[in-house]
Chains A and B, each alone.
Chain A
Amino acid sequence: MISITKAPPYLTVQDQGRPGSRASGVPRGGAMDRFALRTLNAIVGNPFGAAGLEWALGGGVTRFDSACAFAFGGAMVAATLAENVVHPFTTLYAHVGDELKIERFTSGRFLYLAFSGGIEVPEVLRSRSTYLPAHFGGLGGRMIARGNTLPLGAYPPAVPRNGFTPPSELLPRYETSVVRVTRGTHAGLFGDGGWTALTETEFTVGMASDRTGYKLTGQALSHAFGDLPSDPSCEGAIQIPSDGNPIVLMADAPTVGGYPKIAVVSEADLPLVAQLNPGERLTFTPVSIDESQHALRQRTSDLNLIRSAGAASA
């Protein structure tokens, strides 16, 4: 079990989301940076789908009420465990009573913490992820507050050794702000000019950005056809509302929508978008669906290599 002794302004339980209920209007949800959480799960010997903490907007303190292995990563933070400086994407063994202090964020937006055994809140619709808009999943469908305790599941069989860190080339990289996109279902409506504007403009993440979507500014992509009949959407879809400023749909976006979708962010690069704060910039570069799916498979293969390396160290 772990306890939150000082909560950051945003803290929820998340996993890889809940596909399977979109026909009922339930978004996939789950971690905003799903690759960071999957990487951390591999580093503590968990299945990729185990639940961890999604943490944002400031520092806080977690106390270990039982000994366990854990790891953190995603956003860059200054952190200590029992007063010793600790590093991201590294297997760390905590003793009973140890405190993990997240002092501050230095870059990025969403920090993830994975604990060996995973956070064992009840599953709702086959997922432990918190869906705040409808108040279900995670810890009673709400944000985690100071004083809350979270149960951990059974210790997994092969936890990597203390201090294990995967080869750096396998870890998530956030240095680039060039994000791959494939053509969206309405790309044709914007013509060559719209596509060129999307892929040659530097956009800035706006203040209106949350788990539902990130509003961008840079160049308005005008279109003359108004709203369309609602049609299915997905995480990463770049939709263009009537003011022309793109919105990148994120984990909790509705399953259908009436704004035209000019492009979709490659899943392998969605973490790059998720980790951007308001005021930070990005550009989009076009790839084919084959290239985009290849990138997704490459990332998944990297995760499997991390798991193998961790198991070998156990």
Chain B
Amino acid sequence: MSDAPLRAQPLGDSAATITFGAVRSAELLRSVHAAAAAISEASLGVVQDIVPAYLSVAVYYDALEISYDEIARVLLSICRSVPVSSDRPARGREHEIPVVYDGSDLPGVAAATGLSAEEVVARHSGRTYSVDLIGFVPGFAYLSELDPSLHLSRRAQPRPRVPAGSVAIAGPQTAVYPLDTPGGWHILGHTQTLMFDPDNTPPALLQAGDSVRFVRVG
């Protein structure tokens, strides 16, 4: 991506972001994930964390060991050497997550989309999703892209508590709630798969760049 207009900026004293573009797209996201992987493979001793997002990757570093100017130079050099995304094969692990489609919003989603509940389930479980981003709470993976017929805005009234394991949709994305949290997504079902376990390394089952299929088990 040597022609891409990469931009480095400080994010406080101990992080730098490298921004790849201004408009969100699947291609830009692949570039960000490829850059995050390349930075990780460089195994820089001063780097503590690498967090890819939609437009940028942030690298958290030990500011007592290296200045912003120095780390920015190193990171830009690594990112510029990453092949353009379309030349690079998909990376990341593949996951299958068993789902019982018994969610309390399934009838409502069927009504709102004009599909049968059976068809909603078929369209949700019938494709492979990619992990765009991890965030919101530990282990929460934003997966895309949902079948266009299932794109709905969030619930008008978020629920104060969505149980861990809930499989839900909102907009073009789907996700599994890793913890009991408030939430406004439409719940289609649930899984027993543990999405976040602080005793594991890494603690989140899904990482940015992985791919996911939901398998109907009920």
Contacts and interface: CB of A to CB of B under 8 A. Distances in A.
Contact of A20 (B24, B49, B52): B49
A146 interface: no
A125 B53 contact: no
Contacts of B17: 185, 231-232
Q: How large is the interface on A (under 10, 10 to 19, 20 to 34, 35 or more residues)?
A: 35 or more
Contact of A25 (B54, B68, B204): B204
B203 A125 contact: yes
Contact of B58 (A137, A232, A235, A268): A232
B55 A22 contact: no
A134 B196 contact: yes
Contact of B53 (A26, A229, A267, A289): A229
Interface string A264-307: 11111000000000000000000001101100110010000000
A237 B12 contact: yes
Contact of B12 (A136, A255, A265): A265
Contacts of A233: 11
B163 interface: no
Interface stretch (B91-99, B108-116, B137-145): B137-145
A60 to B, nearest CB: 28
A20 B69 CA distance: 22
A82 interface: no
A236 interface: yes
A280 B52 CA distance: 36
B80 to A, nearest CB: 20
Contacts of B133: 230, 256
Given A24-B196, A232-B51, A254 B12 contact: no
Grouping DSSP codes into helix (H, G, I), strand (E, B) and loop, the A interface class, with mixed when no group exceeds half, is mixed
A266 to B, nearest CB: 6
Given A234-B12, A264-B11, A296-B13, A23 B53 contact: no
Interface residues of B, number: 46
Contacts of B199: 124
Nearest to A125: B198
A266 B21 CA distance: 27
B64 A229 contact: no
B1 interface: no
Contact of B56 (A20, A184, A232): A232
Given A267-B14, A289-B13, A25 B135 contact: yes
Interface in B5-37: 9-15, 17, 19, 24
B4 interface: no
A292 B13 CA distance: 7
B198 A19 contact: no
Given A25-B139, A229-B24, A255-B51, A235 B134 contact: no
Interface in B51-71: 51-58, 60, 63-64, 67-69
A249 to B, nearest CB: 10
Nearest to A188: B9
Given A23-B50, A254-B136, A237 B11 contact: yes
Contact of A136 (B10, B53, B134, B198): B198
Given A125-B203, A300-B64, A232 B13 contact: no
A137 B50 CA distance: 22
Given A22-B51, A23-B202, A124-B198, A232 B12 contact: no
B12 A24 contact: no
A257 interface: yes
A213 to B, nearest CB: 14
Interface of B: 9-15, 17, 19, 24, 48-58, 60, 63-64, 67-69, 133-140, 142, 179, 181, 196, 198-199, 202-204, 207-208
The 3 closest A-B pairs by CB, nearest first: A232-B58, A24-B204, A256-B135
Given A22-B49, A24-B203, A266-B13, 9 more contacts: A182-B13, A185-B9, A232-B11, A234-B60, A237-B12, A254-B136, A256-B136, A292-B13, A296-B63
Interface of A: 19-26, 124-125, 133-134, 136-137, 182-185, 229-237, 254-257, 261, 264-268, 289-290, 292-293, 296-297, 300
